[in-house]
Amino acid sequence: MIKCAIIVFFSCLLYAEVQAKCRVMQGYYWRDFTGEVPDDALPGGADPNGKPIFIGQVLQLGFLIPVKIYLDNPTAYYEFERKEVPVTENIKILCTQYPEHFEWIRTSDDEIKFLTEKHLVIGGYQPSWTTFIGRVRHGSETLVGKLLFTERPNSTGLHVTSNGSGIQYSSYEILVYNPH
């Protein structure tokens, strides 16, 4: 009986240690977005008034698509076929206890493949593509959006939206996580 209690005790300790290390190693997480931005949400851009734009993702059309989320707005927006698509359901928002572990690195469609020593933040899923989080200065805003990457020529780029339209950029900043 004592032997079983000791095994259970040490198994619980090991489980707790593994769970703690996984949380620390990950450093960021996606929470359900219910229309209000949580305190631990990571800002990624800024609107024309300097208010933060947050990074999110939505499950839509069988894809996991990066979205932009404005403060005090329950709607998120993403680019699809050069249009801005509003969504209010199935949204997650990027959160962290360690915002200082993130940085934005300037890159381009031609240079992104050389960022092999960096932990690029995966922002979604589309078949045959790697989907990262990117941002770009557009007019008076710094917009966040989906950064699609593939080895196929002329197929990569940052897709953002503004005033109902989708815009594609070949030079941008990419979100990187540095756990150290």
Q: What is the pLDDT of residues 162-173, one digit of tens each?
A: 999 999 999 999
Mean per-residue pLDDT, 112-122: 92
Residue 14 lies in a domain: no
Q: Which residues contact 85 (CB under 8 A, 6 or more apart)?
A: 60, 77, 78, 79, 161
Residue 10 lies in a domain: no
pLDDT at residue 48 above 70?
yes
What is the per-residue pLDDT for 61?
A: 84
Residue 65 lies in a domain: yes
CA 118, CA 145: separation in Å to the nearest integer?
19
C-alpha distance from residue 62 to each of 8, 10, 21, 59 (Å) = 42, 42, 32, 7
Output the six-digit token pair for 119. 């932990």
Which DSSP letter does residue 150 get? -
For residue 75, the SS3 value is coil
- Residue 10: HSE in the Cβ half-sphere, 13 Å Cα cutoff: 5
Residue 41 lies in a domain: yes
Output the six-digit token pair for 37. 């931005």
Residue 21 lies in a domain: no
Residue 134 lies in a domain: yes
Q: What is the pLDDT of residues 49-73, one digit of tens each?
A: 999 999 999 999 889 999 999 999 9
What is the per-residue pLDDT for 152?
A: 67
Domain range enclosing 72: 26-177
Residue 11 lies in a domain: no
Q: Work out how many domains the chain is built from and give that number.
A: 1
Q: Are 96 and 42 in contact (CB under 8 A)?
A: yes
* pTM for this entry: 0.83
7 or 166, greater pLDDT: 166
C-alpha distance from residue 153 to each of 80, 82, 133, 143, 174 (Å) = 20, 19, 20, 25, 19
Residue 40 lies in a domain: yes
